[in-house]
A and B are shown apart, each in its own frame.
Chain A
Amino acid sequence: MQDFGNNRFPRLPYVLIGLGALCYLFGSFWGLFIAPPERFMGDLQRIMYVHVPTAWNWMLAVLFCFAAAIVFLFTNDLKWDARLDAGLEVGSLLAFMLCVQGSIWAKPTWGVWWDWDPRLTSVAVLLFAFLGIIALRRFVDDPRKRAIWSSVATIIASVDLPIVYMSVKWWNSLHQTQSSPDTVSSAFHIPLRVNAFAILFLMTGFIMLRARIASLRLANEVAPPPMIAERAGEMA
């Protein structure tokens, strides 16, 4: 059976997921019980320690998908399609988490669960674009055509990422401007940074495992039917 090369480090995804889980427990404990409440938002601001790391890593996941799509189109190597498949799914998970966390934070601060604000709308557009590409992949049987179409669609969808990033600067937005350790008090740095690494490790481990699943599926798809494989064996 053909190998699509996403199993070079078999234990690494499990190590990353374990490390990510430990960091997540530590960072969240610090954020919930040790970090001080913010001056205006009080305890509600503690949502930042999961929301902002999710946003940063979601952007990395979209960049990863963009890179995987470009590399596939240049190399025509299906292992990059398996990686794109993984990135699309994990990216959608992070985008969904981001929208839910943001919604929960919006209700007590803005008074609404959702607003068609440029930042929120542009994130939702990219979430639905990724879900659309995942759906598109299910309708195409030929692995090569599927890889080409989804790579092109991913590149087009990724154009939305700079719009997401700049939306709070380009338009009047309810959403605050980009957060980084430089824009928040030093008392908030530890849980913010630890949870950023936690989500990064979890996301990387998830993408590696999901790419392995996609590679196994591809190997089954492109493997010759059992009768032909048997005859080829007899002739050899």
Chain B
Amino acid sequence: MTGVVTGGWSFVWAAYGLTTAALLIYGVSLFMRLKEERQR
């Protein structure tokens, strides 16, 4: 026992993956909504 958390890369990838996905999906939704609103 060294007191160091070992491994954990799956949690790191999950955090980065969800952050990137949230930013990407929201960004795309904004472009689409702006385009739609301009066409109204």
Contact = CB atoms under 8 A, between A and B. Distances in A.
A216 B38 CA distance: 7
- Classify the interface of chain A: helix, strand, loop or mixed: helix
Interface string B1-40: 0011111110110111011101100110011011001101
Interface size class of A (residues with CB under 8 A): 20 to 34
A163 to B, nearest CB: 25
B4 A39 contact: yes
A123 to B, nearest CB: 16
Contacts, number: 82
B27 A17 contact: yes
A20 to B, nearest CB: 9
B17 to A, nearest CB: 10
B5 A202 contact: no
A34 interface: no
B interface, over-half SS: helix
Interface of A: 17, 24, 28, 32, 39-44, 46-47, 50-51, 54, 93, 96-97, 100-101, 104-105, 107-109, 202, 206, 209-210, 212-213, 216-217, 220
Nearest to A101: B15
B28 to A, nearest CB: 11
A54 B34 CA distance: 25
Contact of B26 (A41, A93, A213): A93
Given A32-B16, A97-B19, A101-B18, A220 B40 contact: yes
28 contacts: A32-B16, A41-B4, A42-B7, A47-B11, A47-B15, A50-B16, A51-B15, A54-B19, A93-B22, A93-B26, A97-B18, A97-B19, A97-B22, A97-B23, A101-B15, A105-B15, A107-B11, A109-B5, A202-B23, A202-B27, A206-B27, A206-B30, A209-B31, A209-B34, A213-B34, A216-B34, A216-B37, A216-B40
